[in-house]
């Protein structure tokens, strides 16, 4: 996915240095404020991927995603676990479930990113969020038949959605940082 940067990372890094000596509750409050500010963008990004229209054949990778979800439960043989895994096995639904905010309040990499956590997807499908975000799309064997290939197109949804929220996220983060900086100084 393309990287969207919001200016102000320098201030965040400076505040992170000052937070090292501060109480852990203060750092947690900053993270919570940032998470609350990013939450609408994450939710909107999830809605955007779910809204991508389904085209062409269905059911190509659902089995792999179902099996992947079953690796994460205690009793993968239970009927309930199989039904829940199958219900979460759609590509768009799996990608939506893997979208999260990654917040770093310390060190040189202080900042906020909205990412698709590839570890939550099956091994062979970890590049699909990037392809689904591209007009160019991708090619894959039709139902596993390597003699017949199918071209699947994508639609930009990731950056387009996040860009709508950048100003508000930035304002929220800067406000939270200013409040905490004032609290630390006093």
Nearest residue to 42 via CA among 164, 155, 137:
164
The pLDDT value recorded for residue 130 is 93
Q: How far apart are CA 57 and CA 60, in angstroms?
A: 8
pLDDT at 163 over 60: yes
Would you place residue 17 in the very low, low, confident or very high pLDDT band (cuts 50, 70, 90)? low
pLDDT at 133 over 60: yes
Distances (CA, A) of 66 to 1, 63, 91, 136, 182: 25, 5, 10, 27, 49
The pLDDT value recorded for residue 18 is 66
- For residues 116 and 1, the answer to whether their CB atoms sit within 8 Å is yes
Distances (CA, A) of 147 to 63, 82, 138, 142, 144: 20, 31, 16, 8, 9
**Comparing 61 with 145, which gets the higher pLDDT?**
145
Spatial CB neighbours of 166, under 8 Å, sequence gap ≥ 6: 4, 6
Average pLDDT for residues 12-22, to the nearest whole number? 66
Average pLDDT for residues 98-106, to the nearest whole number? 85
pLDDT at 16 over 80: no
CA dihedral 8→14→17→23, nearest 10 degrees, is -70
The pLDDT value recorded for residue 2 is 46
Helix intervals (H) in the chain: 9-19, 24-50, 62-70, 79-87, 91-98, 128-132, 158-163, 166-185
Spell out the domain ranges in the chain.
Answer: 9-185
Q: What is the pLDDT of residues 54-77, one digit of tens each?
A: 765 455 555 655 665 566 666 666
pLDDT at 15 over 80: no
The pLDDT value recorded for residue 1 is 53
């Amino acid at each position: 996915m393309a990287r969207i940067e919001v200016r102000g990372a320098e201030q965040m890094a400076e505040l992170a240095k000052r937070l090292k000596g501060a109480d852990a509750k203060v750092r947690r409050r900053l993270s919570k404020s940032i998470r609350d500010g990013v939450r609408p963008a994450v939710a909107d990004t999830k809605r955007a991927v779910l809204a991508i229209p389904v085209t062409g054949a269905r059911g190509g990778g659902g089995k792999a995603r179902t099996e992947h979800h079953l690796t994460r439960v205690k009793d993968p043989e239970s009927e309930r676990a199989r039904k829940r895994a199958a219900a979460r096995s759609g590509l768009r639904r799996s990608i939506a479930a893997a979208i999260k905010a990654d917040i770093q309040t310390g060190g040189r990499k202080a900042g906020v990113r909205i990412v698709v956590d590839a570890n939550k997807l099956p091994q062979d499908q970890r590049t699909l969020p990037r392809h689904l975000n591209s007009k160019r799309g991708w090619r894959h064997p039709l139902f596993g038949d390597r003699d017949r290939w199918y071209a699947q197109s994508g639609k930009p949804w990731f950056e387009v959605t996040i860009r709508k929220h950048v100003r508000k996220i930035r304002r929220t983060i800067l406000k939270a940082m200013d409040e905490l900086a004032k609290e630390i100084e006093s």
